[in-house]
Amino acid sequence: MVVVVRTTKRLPRAERERQMMDAAVQVFGRRGYRGASMDEVAELAGVSKPLVYLYLKSKEDLFTACIRREAQALTRAVRAGVRRDLPPDRQLWEGLRAFFRHTADHPDGWTVLHVQARTHGEPFAAEVAALRAELVSFVTQLTVVAARAAHRDPDLPEREVAGLAEALVGAAESLAAWANATEGVCAREAAATLMNFAWAGLDNLMAGRPWTPPADQD
Amino acid sequence: MVVVVRTTKRLPRAERERQMMDAAVQVFGRRGYRGASMDEVAELAGVSKPLVYLYLKSKEDLFTACIRREAQALTRAVRAGVRRDLPPDRQLWEGLRAFFRHTADHPDGWTVLHVQARTHGEPFAAEVAALRAELVSFVTQLTVVAARAAHRDPDLPEREVAGLAEALVGAAESLAAWANATEGVCAREAAATLMNFAWAGLDNLMAGRPWTPPADQD
Amino acid sequence: MVVVVRTTKRLPRAERERQMMDAAVQVFGRRGYRGASMDEVAELAGVSKPLVYLYLKSKEDLFTACIRREAQALTRAVRAGVRRDLPPDRQLWEGLRAFFRHTADHPDGWTVLHVQARTHGEPFAAEVAALRAELVSFVTQLTVVAARAAHRDPDLPEREVAGLAEALVGAAESLAAWANATEGVCAREAAATLMNFAWAGLDNLMAGRPWTPPADQD
Amino acid sequence: MVVVVRTTKRLPRAERERQMMDAAVQVFGRRGYRGASMDEVAELAGVSKPLVYLYLKSKEDLFTACIRREAQALTRAVRAGVRRDLPPDRQLWEGLRAFFRHTADHPDGWTVLHVQARTHGEPFAAEVAALRAELVSFVTQLTVVAARAAHRDPDLPEREVAGLAEALVGAAESLAAWANATEGVCAREAAATLMNFAWAGLDNLMAGRPWTPPADQD
DNA sequence: CATGAATGAGGGTTCATTCAT
DNA sequence: CATGAATGAACCCTCATTCAT
């Protein structure tokens, strides 16, 4: 079969859309929603502007699509990073590592989720809220299971557990942005900092009794 | 409750500037730097656009002035909320409460500081860096003092302290939003949750050894 | 009856650019650089303002482009009007006629070159300097050739030649305006007057020895 | 009688107006009519803006007043520089010298007259036309008288004399602007260049027979 | 008088978005 | 499909000009 390769390759729609969204995430992440121009997105994606509109409808829709995609990728990465047969602290540790690894590998995507999406009215905030809910539920489950497994009833009302989970996720989010922006901070270090903070508490940290991350192979 | 008083009166410059900056903080906080329009700022302030320019020079200068003012107000509030003669955990507790109180009372100001100011390069970085340094220094001091008081050496490198501060702020932010959105959770409870999270650590919490907030009268 | 033809047709870029520059020369010539508004240019060109910016980048670039185009047109017209095999006085005569003809046919272009372009520093200076150099070089060549042909050394320093060119242009401009305003004076007569003024000098004129314009057919 | 001298001196109106117009001529000359701002004029004059409006009504009126004043000053200077008992070529020479001296001493005023006033519609152009008419009439008279005095009837129709006068004045105007803009060209040199050009003609110049300026004491 | 306070109107520029080819 | 041509709507900023004190 002979295939004539034109300089302007015809790609299947899904592939083209992926290219555009890759470009869009980069541009939105670096310039912000308002600062991003559809011209730049189109150019970076290597397609013409009308094509972007044909496939993705509008700037707002494009942004929403980016958020949704990046949020899914992140939750998937976190879930995939955890092995349910380990003890709770190891599970949390691995979840955090997966989280920080992913945000470090996709800094623009993370910026879009963490910084840009929150600055722009309802439609975008809803997407991000869903992401956060997902993560919070993950942590909550972990905590409750951990308590039960240890036959300790912390006597924490469900509401307080939810609050703690919120706090942890918020801390993780902030730390991820900070780690991305700060030279020389690797994902592992960020995870360890937060793990220590969350697990042992400041008091234990200061007492020289940090939580000890397990030795593993990455 | 905000009442818009259509004062057509001539006001002294200082007062008008305050009005304009109040409006600007609101608009910048809700729309972001790029999304904010000087027209909206002027209208919200109840003045004409040229007056905004006459007094505050440019959008950039206006934004810088807002950041500076809000940063000062916040650090002042936190410092004022802390009594240096108390033990470290009480100091942290009070600092957090003051922080929560202030950011809850000035949500747009806090958004400007935390979200908007970081998204926009060079010109504003200096102002935000100063605020961050101030807060980090506060936490650092607290930690070091606490360690000395307990004759322990926390041996935390400066970078780790910055990371902890970052995590704390993220957790606080997350909790504040959660407290707002969840029925029946007051700010005080949010502060206690965070304090527990930060001070005692999850492990202690689950073991039924939470940090106990002191009884006080607000 | 004048019918405004609302050509909604799409034109190739080159043609649209020409239309825009035609309009721009008119507006710049009549209102000056500062007084000209891009709105007026766009309207006169029959296009929307963004298109002007898309093609010509900025007001400054548009002005520069106008100067360059008009300068080229003028120098080309003068050079085309002169036959190098004639004696110097005939050459000057023909150059002047071509100059008068062209500036009379493109009054706004001439205004842009002579009046507007000089009022605005740096960016345009280069273009205007090039035009001036071109014209001065024309006069200089003429003078030198004439002198050599007569085995005489005019010994005029370069600066003086520039001054003479300046005086010539000023006189020409003045005469053109006068010819326009005075009933019954045609362009040819204006040219003859200037030629007399320039070539023979007042003294010779008063002594009844004017330079005699050749009989030609236009 | 005790007079309290305030830091803000009260000057008679005429004096204040002079100050404002001095400032205005400077600003208009340097920035052009559109580029000049009333703020700058007021500041340079050392008065408040409303005072400028109180005394001079509007920007347009201020500009007109400047033109009128500068035009009067120039014609007065030229007339004052000429002694009617000298031979015509000396009279022309002295007139030119006075003209170039004055324009060199008041470059901003001259720019206002020569460049700025012509770029802005009817009302201003009329003032400048009056100035030019005055100068042309001066030169015309001179030429006619000179011819009669020399008992030479050049047989020039009145109209041609007018044309020559126009040419001379135009040349002078252009040269004055050029002399002001060109480093190292003094008023005397400009006058000599023009005198040579006008009196002897290019042909004589090239033949090494220039008109000889008389030795005088300035 | 003299001044600080205040604004209507407009100008340069950009951008998301749509057609005709 | 892909693209060059084209625009409505806004946005930042400035300026001549006027009041109230």
pLDDT digits (tens, 9 = 90+) for D6-65: 345 567 788 889 999 999 999 999 999 999 999 999 999 999 999 999 999 999 999 999
Q: State the Cα–Cα distance between residues A90 and A214, nearest whole angstrom.
A: 8
Check pLDDT > 80 for residue A212.
no
Judged by CB atoms closer than 8 Å, whether chains meet at C203 and D199 is answered as: yes
Judged by CB atoms closer than 8 Å, whether chains meet at D119 and C198 is answered as: no
Q: And the tokens for D51? A: 């005072």
In tens digits, what is the pLDDT along chain C, a chain of 218 residues?
333 444 457 899 999 999 999 999 999 999 999 999 999 999 999 999 999 999 999 999 999 999 999 999 999 998 899 888 888 778 888 888 888 889 889 989 988 988 776 777 667 878 887 887 787 777 777 766 666 666 665 566 777 778 888 888 888 888 888 887 888 887 778 888 888 888 776 666 666 666 666 665 44
Q: State the Cα–Cα distance between residues B118 and B124, nearest whole angstrom.
A: 8
Is C38 part of any domain? no
Residue of A34, A119, A194 lying closest to B167 (CB–CB): A194
- Provide, as residue numbers in chain A, all residues whose Cβ is less than 8 Å from the Cβ of B202: 143, 164, 168, 198-199, 201
- Provide, as residue numbers in chain A, all residues whose Cβ is less than 8 Å from the Cβ of B172: 167, 170
Check pLDDT > 90 for residue B59.
yes
Which domain, by its residues, includes B80? 70-206
> pLDDT value at position A205?
61
Our CA-based measurement puts residue C53 at a distance from the nearest CA of chain D, in whole angstroms, of 22
- Whether A and B touch, i.e. at least 3 CB pairs below 8 A, reads as yes
| Counted domains in chain A | 1
- Of C200-214, D18-32, D80-94, D122-136, the range with the highest mean pLDDT is D18-32
- Whether C and D touch, i.e. at least 3 CB pairs below 8 A, reads as yes
Using alpha carbons, list the distances in angstroms from residue C105 to A121, C108, D92. Answer: 59, 9, 34
Nucleotides of F under 7 A from a protein CB: 1-21
CA of C10 to C1' of E21 (A): 10
User: By C-alpha distance, which of D173, D128, A19 is closest to C114?
Assistant: D173
pLDDT, one tens digit per residue, over B17-45 is: 999 999 999 999 999 999 999 999 999 99
**Taking CB atoms and an 8 Å cut-off, how many pairs form between chains A and B?**
168
pLDDT, one tens digit per residue, over D102-120 is: 999 999 999 999 888 787 8
Q: What is the average per-residue pLDDT within A75-90?
A: 88
Share of chain B above pLDDT 90, in %: 32
Using alpha carbons, list the distances in angstroms from residue D15 to A163, D9, D58. Answer: 77, 12, 19
Nearest nt to C42, CA vs C1'?
Answer: F7
CB < 7 A to strand E: residues 157-216, chain A: none
pLDDT, one tens digit per residue, over A157-189 is: 778 778 888 888 999 998 998 898 888 888 888
Judged by CB atoms closer than 8 Å, whether chains meet at C154 and D208 is answered as: yes
- Provide, as residue numbers in chain A, all residues whose Cβ is less than 8 Å from the Cβ of B197: 164, 167-168, 198, 201
Our CA-based measurement puts residue D55 at a distance from the nearest CA of chain C, in whole angstroms, of 25
Q: Please tell me whether any atom of strand F lies within 7 Å of the Cβ of B53.
A: yes
Report the alpha-carbon angle A164-A168-A172, nearest 5: 170
Please tell me which residue lies nearest to nucleotide F14, judged from CA to C1': B50
Q: Please tell me whether any atom of strand E lies within 7 Å of the Cβ of B10.
A: yes
CB < 7 A to strand F: residues 24-43, chain B: 36-40
- CATH (domain of B195): 1.10.357.10
Is D25 part of any domain? no
Q: For residue A40, what pLDDT band results from cuts at 50, 70 and 90?
A: very high
Judged by CB atoms closer than 8 Å, whether chains meet at C178 and D166 is answered as: yes
Check pLDDT > 60 for residue D4.
no
> pLDDT value at position D29?
92
Greater model confidence, D156 or B49: B49
Closest residue, chain B, to A201 (C-alpha)? B201
> pLDDT value at position B87?
80
Q: Please tell me whether any atom of strand E lies within 7 Å of the Cβ of C60.
A: yes
> pLDDT value at position B114?
81
Please tell me which residue lies nearest to nucleotide E8, judged from CA to C1': B48
CA of C97 to C1' of E14 (A): 46
Is C101 part of any domain? yes
Q: Please tell me whether any atom of strand F lies within 7 Å of the Cβ of C6.
A: no
Judged by CB atoms closer than 8 Å, whether chains meet at D170 and C166 is answered as: no
> pLDDT value at position D150?
62
Q: Please tell me whether any atom of strand E lies within 7 Å of the Cβ of D50.
A: yes
CA of C71 to C1' of E15 (A): 35
Q: Please tell me whether any atom of strand F lies within 7 Å of the Cβ of D36.
A: yes
> pLDDT value at position A124?
83
- Provide, as residue numbers in chain D, all residues whose Cβ is less than 8 Å from the Cβ of C201: 197-204, 211
Our CA-based measurement puts residue A81 at a distance from the nearest CA of chain B, in whole angstroms, of 21
Is C61 part of any domain? no
Q: What is the average per-residue pLDDT within B54-59?
A: 96
Greater model confidence, B9 or A67: A67
Cβ atoms D92, D195 nearer than 8 A: yes
Is B118 part of any domain? yes
Greater model confidence, C1 or B86: B86
Is C186 part of any domain? yes
Using alpha carbons, list the distances in angstroms from residue A29 to A22, B120, C86. Answer: 11, 12, 71
Nucleotides of E under 7 A from a protein CB: 1-21
> pLDDT value at position C3?
37
User: A202, A209, A211: best mutation site toward chain B, by most B Cβ within 10 Å?
Assistant: A202
> pLDDT value at position B56?
96
Nearest nt to C51, CA vs C1'?
Answer: F6
CA of C37 to C1' of E11 (A): 7
Nearest nt to B45, CA vs C1'?
Answer: E6
> pLDDT value at position B86?
84
Q: State the Cα–Cα distance between residues B122 and B188, nearest whole angstrom.
A: 37
- Length of chain A in terms of residues written: 218
Q: Please tell me whether any atom of strand F lies within 7 Å of the Cβ of D47.
A: no
Q: State the Cα–Cα distance between residues B159 and B139, nearest whole angstrom.
A: 13
Is A18 part of any domain? no
Q: Print the SS3 string covering chain C.
A: CCCCCCCCCCCCHHHHHHHHHHHHHHHHHHHHHHHCCHHHHHHHHCCCHHHHHHHHCCHHHHHHHHHHHHHHHHHHHHHHHCCCCCCHHHHHHHHHHHHHHHHHHCHHHHHHHHHHHHHCHHHHHHHHHHHHHHHHHHHHHHHHHHHHHCCCCCCCCHHHHHHHHHHHHHHHHHHHHHHHHCCCCCHHHHHHHHHHHHHHHHHHHHCCCCCCCCCCCC
Our CA-based measurement puts residue D51 at a distance from the nearest CA of chain C, in whole angstroms, of 26
Greater model confidence, B9 or C81: C81
> pLDDT value at position A5?
37
DSSP3 helix / strand / coil % (chain B, rounded to 5): 75, 0, 25
